[in-house]
Structure 1
């Protein structure tokens, strides 16, 4: 089980090219009506978007934020061979955000001529890495994967940024997207607009197309991106950055953000 977690975590750290593994969360519905409702969420790391064929995403860092900005309990959480799932009972009108957010330190080093890998918390680093380790390379990783569901009239309390890691400020509501229209978002790094962040957007069902049809762009000087949706469907958005501003000396910082949106016909 420990090795499975490490594989999943390392997969999330892979770069953005089309052949890379992608982390995603997929809701059964994004817009519901009535006084209450249920949504089921699947989450995994895979080569093909929204297809269970690699490893599940662990739910250790799962946080669901309700329409009033407070935490909501997920139900029936389970992790299988290829995916993790959970249910959400929506009992209050408005928008919910489901996120898996984690912070880890990854180490690669050599010990007695053998290559070793370690994943853990920053505070455990000095205690768990041998002092005689050689060729030590550290990466401090911030990972966030999320999606959005609305019951009735949408609102924005659940969308407030946390101010930690790489996030997306929804200047256009994520449950109000339509084919042919342009949505505007802002990439934030630790709560501050982040320019020059590489973003990839892919519509689901790519395994059934000759060309994946990715859209690629970089955030502007104010961290903003504008996305014109070519057609209806479920879309994955991925962003990644790296720099040398980790909290540990000589460590690299890497932040990744993944989100799933439903784009409806006009």
Structure 2
């Protein structure tokens, strides 16, 4: 039962944007600007307060680290504890790395022999694991991304190329070139096309230590772009999401999309 509740909590955090009181999923790097051959440590968790470990860890099964040349990087010293997962990355190349947890799968519920069943998995496994004659079948698809960015030396763009699946952030302002008092511009894509009128929440970390959440409620323009102001230096969390009917499986009635990113904003 504890395992099931943990799965539900993590899934809810990935798919339910815009609720300031809800659980928040995030990746938190020890540094976002470094030099080549240095190491960073990344925490991965779901919490009630931003960047404070007090709920459950994020699982690392779907972790993908993209190097500046577009190749994949294997994390080192990965470990999952009670409240967080953690892993190390050596920055062997000059340029920008993308660290991402990518979740794409199906959720199904149905009746079998009078009992309600729940299933979660990939589209490839759906036909073999869910009965073809399942009664009261309800299926939804989810595509979620949790990302952060780290640069060794000079910022680059190759690791930031979109996959054109779900919601993705394409930086106009480089994500490791953010400073307090300077506005940054980001572009959002939905399946590779501009995501217009997308509602986005931006929030500074440290919510445990202040009474007001200080959320910025933003919306993309017709080109999928918006500007973000950073009032103070520190770590910031960005979240957005939506539902549509563009599913990859005929049986699925809806698709739930989410995107989360963590940024470091430096003093001028």
With 131-140 and 118-127 compared, the bigger mean Cα shift is at 131-140
Q: Which residue is 1:259 aligned to? A: 261
TM-score (norm 2): 0.93
TM-score (norm 1): 0.93
CA distance in 2, matches of 1:251, 1:98: 31
Match of 2:28 among 5, 16, 26: 26
CA distance in 1, matches of 2:223, 2:155: 26
Q: 1:46–1:54: 8 Å Cα contact kept in structure 2?
A: yes
For residues 133-172 of structure 1, the aligned pairs below 5 Å read: 133-172=134-173
Q: Which residue is 1:202 aligned to? A: 203
Return 5+ residue gaps in structure 1 as ranges.
Answer: none
Give the deviation of 1:235 after TM superposition.
0.3
Return 5+ residue gaps in structure 2 as ranges.
Answer: none
Give the deviation of 1:130 after TM superposition.
3.5
Q: Which residue is 1:237 aligned to? A: 238
Q: Which residue is 1:49 aligned to? A: 50
With 23-32 and 48-57 compared, the bigger mean Cα shift is at 48-57
RMSD: 1.8
- The reply to whether residue 93 of structure 1 matches residue 94 of structure 2 is yes
Q: Deviations over 1:117-156 (max 9, x none)?
A: 2211112223222355443322100111010111111111
CA distance in 2, matches of 1:240, 1:173: 22
CA distance in 2, matches of 1:251, 1:55: 30
Q: 1:5–1:58: 8 Å Cα contact kept in structure 2?
A: no
Number of corresponding residues: 265
Q: Deviations over 1:29-85 (max 9, x none)?
A: 11113x420000001112211111221111111111111121122111111111111
